[in-house]
C-alpha cells in the first residue's frame, strides 16, 4: 500500500492527464489506512502537486484533495511545510473555496505551534499578509481562524509581531487598518489580535502601544455604541490579567474612566449591557494582583459590589456575586470582606437567599460563590486557623441548619446544581470545623453512602469526593465513630461507580 501511494503521488506530479482519476485513487488509498501508516513515505515536497491540483472549479475534486491534505499534512514536519510549501500555503489562503482556506489556516496553526515553524513563517511575510485579509472575511469560522493564527504567530515570533504591527515596517499594518474599516465586528477582531499579542511580554506591549491600536481600543469606551463598549470592557478585562498590561491600563487613565462609568451607570438605561464587563474587569484585577491592589485603584468598589448584590437587576446581581467569590478566595480577600462589617454581612445573607431560593442559573453562581468564600485551598498552612475563624461565622449564616440547606442542593433535579452542592459540601468537609458540624445532621451519613440517589456520572464523582474527603479527615473516627469511618473507607475503596450485587432466587410456580 505504501508503494501504491508513492507511485500514485509520483504519477500525479508528472502527469498532465488523468489528474481527476489519480486524485480519487489517492483518496481511496489514504482512506483505507490510518494516516500514521504513511508517515515515513510522505514528505512535504510530495504534497505540492496536490496543492497545484486545487486550481480547478470542480467541487468534487477540491473536496477529495482537501480530504487527502487533511490526512497527510499532520504527518509531515511542520517546518518543512513552512519552508518547502510556502507558495502553496499562500495560494491556499487566497483560494476561492473557503474549505481550502480553512484547511490552510489550520495547517498554519500547526506550524506556528513550533518555534522553528513560527520563525520560518516570519521569513515569509506574504503568508501573514494574506491571513490579515481573511480577518475581514464574512465566513466567521475563517475569520476567527485567521485571528487565532495571527495572534499565536505574533506571540511566538517577535519578528512576526513587528511585521504585523509596526507602522511603516511592512504593508501589513496598513492592511490591518484597511480591514478594520469593514465593520465593527472586524475592527474588534483586529483589537483581539493586538490584545493577544501584547499579553506575551512588556516588549510586545510596547510594540502594540506604538501601533496606536491599543489607544484606539481604549477610545471605544467614549463612544455611543453600547455593544462596542461591552466588547471593549471584555477585552480590557482580559488585558488586566497580566501585570505589565495592568500597569499600562492604570497609567492610561482607563481605570479612572471605568470607575466613572460604574458611577454613572444608574442614569444609563443601557448600563446592564456593559456594567458586567466593568465589574469583571475589577474582579480580574483582584484575581491577578490581589484585593488590596483593587482597593487602592478603586477604594469604594466593595460598596458598589454589595449594592449590586442586593439590587434586583439580574445582570448586575449575577456578575457581582461571581466577583464576590473571586475576591473571597484568598486570605487577603477574606480579611478584607470581614472588615466590611454589617455591609458585607447583608450582602452575604442575600447570596445565601439566592443559594436557597434563587432561579437555577443565578442559584448555581451563588453556590459557587459560597464555595469560594469557604474554601481554604489558597491559604498557607500557617494562616489556616485565622481563616477558619473568619469562615465559620459565614457558614453559620447560610440558614438555621446550614448542612441541611446544602444537602437540599444535592437533591435538586438539575445535575449542575447537585454537583455544585456536593462541591460546597466537600469544601465544608475540608475545613477543620467542617467534620464537627456535619456530624450534627443525623441523615448525612446514610445520604452520602446511598449510591441509589445518584444516576449521573458527574454527580457520582462529586459525591464520591465528599466521602473521600471525610475518610481522610484527621478527626473523622472520633467525631463520626469507628463504624462510620470504616463505612466511609469501604465506600472509597469500592470506587464511585460501584454497584452492589444482589442475590436472586427463582421460584417455580406450579
Nearest to 462 by CA among 391, 405, 409, 501: 409
Boundaries of every domain in the chain = 399-495
In 3-state terms, what secondary structure has residue 502? coil
Task: Give me Rg for the CA atoms of the chain.
Answer: 30
pLDDT number for residue 176: 95
Task: Check: pTM over 0.85? Answer yes or no.
Answer: no
Q: What is the pLDDT of residue 107?
A: 96
What pLDDT tens digit does each residue of the chain (510 aa) get?
Answer: 455 787 888 777 777 666 788 889 888 888 888 888 888 788 888 899 899 989 888 899 999 999 999 999 999 999 999 999 999 999 999 999 999 999 999 999 999 999 899 999 998 999 999 999 999 999 999 999 999 999 999 999 999 999 999 998 889 999 999 999 999 999 999 999 999 999 999 999 999 999 999 999 999 998 888 889 989 998 998 888 888 998 899 888 899 999 999 988 888 888 888 888 899 999 988 988 899 999 999 999 999 999 999 999 898 999 999 999 999 999 999 999 999 999 999 999 999 999 999 998 999 999 999 999 999 999 999 999 999 999 999 999 999 999 999 999 999 999 999 999 999 999 999 998 999 999 999 999 999 999 998 989 999 999 999 999 999 999 999 999 999 999 999 999 999 998 875 444 444 443
| Residue 331 near residue 386 (C-beta atoms within 8 A) | yes
| d(C-alpha 464, C-alpha 138), whole Å | 48
Map residue 269 onto helix, strand or coil: coil
Q: Using CA of residue 90, residue 91, residue 93, residue 94, what is the dihedral sign?
A: positive
Euclidean distance between CA atoms 144 and 136, whole angstroms:
10
Q: What residues contact residue 360 under an 8 Å CB cut-off, 6+ apart?
A: 414, 417
**CA triplet 54, 55, 61: central angle to 5 degrees?**
45
Distance set, CA 497 to CA 51, 451, 491 (Å): 51, 8, 10
**CA neighbor of 220 nearest in space, from 188, 244, 198:** 188
pLDDT of residue 5: 80
Give me the numbers of helices (H) and strands (E) for the chain, helices first please.
Answer: 33, 0
Amino acid at each position: 500500500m505504501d508503494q501504491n501511494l508513492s507511485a500514485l503521488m509520483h504519477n500525479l506530479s508528472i502527469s498532465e492527464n488523468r489528474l481527476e482519476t489519480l486524485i480519487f485513487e489517492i483518496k481511496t488509498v489514504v482512506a483505507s489506512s490510518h494516516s500514521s501508516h504513511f508517515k515515513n513515505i510522505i514528505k512535504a515536497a510530495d504534497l505540492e502537486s496536490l496543492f497545484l491540483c486545487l486550481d480547478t472549479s470542480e467541487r468534487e475534486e477540491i473536496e477529495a484533495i482537501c480530504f487527502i491534505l487533511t490526512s497527510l499534512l499532520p504527518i509531515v514536519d511542520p517546518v518543512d511545510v513552512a519552508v518547502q510549501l510556502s507558495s502553496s500555503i499562500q495560494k491556499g489562503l487566497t483560494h476561492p473555496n473557503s474549505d481550502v482556506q480553512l484547511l490552510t489556516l489550520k495547517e498554519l496553526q500547526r506550524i506556528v505551534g513550533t518555534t522553528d515553524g513560527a520563525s520560518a513563517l516570519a521569513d515569509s511575510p506574504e503568508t501573514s499578509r494574506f491571513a490579515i485579509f481573511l480577518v475581514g472575511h464574512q465566513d466567521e469560522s475563517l475569520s476567527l481562524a485567521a485571528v487565532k493564527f495571527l495572534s499565536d504567530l505574533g506571540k511566538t515570533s517577535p519578528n512576526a509581531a513587528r511585521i504585523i504591527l509596526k507602522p511603516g515596517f511592512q504593508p501589513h499594518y496598513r492592511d490591518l487598518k484597511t480591514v478594520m474599516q469593514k465593520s465593527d465586528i472586524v475592527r474588534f477582531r483586529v483589537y483581539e489580535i493586538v490584545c493577544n499579542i501584547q499579553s506575551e511580554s512588556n516588549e510586545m506591549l510596547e510594540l502594540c502601544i506604538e501601533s496606536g491600536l491599543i489607544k484606539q481600543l481604549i477610545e471605544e469606551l467614549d463612544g455611543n455604541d453600547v455593544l462596542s463598549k461591552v466588547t471593549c470592557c471584555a477585552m480590557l478585562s482580559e488585558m488586566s490579567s497580566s501585570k505589565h498590561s495592568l500597569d499600562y491600563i492604570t497609567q492610561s487613565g482607563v481605570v479612572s474612566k471605568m470607575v466613572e462609568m460604574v458611577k454613572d451607570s444608574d442614569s444609563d438605561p443601557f448600563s446592564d449591557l456593559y456594567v458586567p464587563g466593568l465589574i469583571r474587569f475589577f474582579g480580574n484585577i483582584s484575581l491577578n494582583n490581589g484585593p488590596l491592589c483593587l482597593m487602592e485603584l478603586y477604594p469604594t468598589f466593595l460598596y458598589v459590589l454589595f449594592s449590586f448584590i442586593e439590587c434586583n437587576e439580574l445582570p448586575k446581581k449575577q456578575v457581582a456575586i461571581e466577583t464576590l467569590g473571586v475576591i473571597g478566595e484568598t486570605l487577603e480577600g477574606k480579611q478584607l470582606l470581614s472588615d466590611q462589617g454589617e455591609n458585607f454581612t447583608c450582602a452575604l445573607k442575600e447570596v445565601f437567599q439566592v443559594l436557597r431560593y434563587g432561579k437555577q442559573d443565578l442559584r448555581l453562581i451563588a453556590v459557587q460563590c459560597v464555595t469560594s468564600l469557604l474554601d481554604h485551598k489558597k491559604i498557607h498552612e500557617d494562616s489556616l486557623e485565622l481563616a477558619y475563624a473568619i469562615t465559620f461565622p459565614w457558614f453559620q449564616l447560610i440558614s438555621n441548619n446550614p448542612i441541611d440547606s446544602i444537602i437540599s442542593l444535592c437533591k435538586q433535579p438539575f445535575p449542575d446544581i447537585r454537583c455544585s452542592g456536593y462541591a460546597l459540601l466537600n469544601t465544608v468537609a475540608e475545613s477543620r470545623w467542617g467534620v464537627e458540624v456535619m456530624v450534627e445532621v443525623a441523615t448525612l451519613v446514610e445520604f452520602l453512602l446511598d449510591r441509589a440517589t445518584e444516576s449521573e456520572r458527574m454527580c457520582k464523582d462529586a459525591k464520591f469526593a465528599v466521602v473521600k474527603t471525610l475518610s481522610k479527615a484527621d478527626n473523622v473516627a472520633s467525631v463520626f465513630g469507628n463504624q462510620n469511618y470504616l463505612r466511609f473507607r469501604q465506600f472509597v475503596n469500592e470506587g464511585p461507580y460501584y454497584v452492589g450485587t444482589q442475590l436472586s432466587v427463582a421460584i417455580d410456580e406450579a
